[in-house]
Amino acid sequence: MAGITLTQANAQLTAWLAASLAVANGQSYSIAGRSLTRANAAEIREQINFWNEMVKTLTRGGLSVKGVTPC
């Protein structure tokens, strides 16, 4: 399986930003006896931070490894 691409990371970041906006506009509501509760705001914030860092890393050209000692 290939690693995460910049396109995938951007899509995830966009999705989590949309989730944040949805939560800001109403955490939960009920209609006709059915209810919807959106994700936890703290979890959304953590995911935004994670995917933002992933996008930054992939934009710089990916992960780099320094100071590896060969066996």
Tens of pLDDT, residue by residue over 15-56, are 999 989 888 887 777 889 898 777 788 999 999 999 999 999
Boundaries of domain holding 48: 6-23+33-59
Report the 10 Å Cβ neighbour count for 8.
15
Residue 39 lies in a domain: yes
CA distances from 27 to 8, 36, 63 (A): 27, 8, 36
Count of domains for the chain: 1
Question: Do the domain assignments include residue 12?
Answer: yes
Structural domain includes residue 64: no
Q: Is residue 68 part of a domain?
A: no
Is residue 44 in some structural domain?
A: yes
**Mean per-residue pLDDT, 4-16:** 96
DSSP letter at 40 equals P
Q: Per-residue confidence at 1, pLDDT binned at 50, 70, 90?
A: very low
Residue ranges of alpha helices (H) inside the chain are 6-24, 41-59
Instruction: Please tell me the distance from the alpha carbon of residue 50 to that of residue 12, in angstroms, as a whole number.
Output: 10
Domain assignment present for residue 70? The answer is: no
Residue 63: per-residue pLDDT: 58
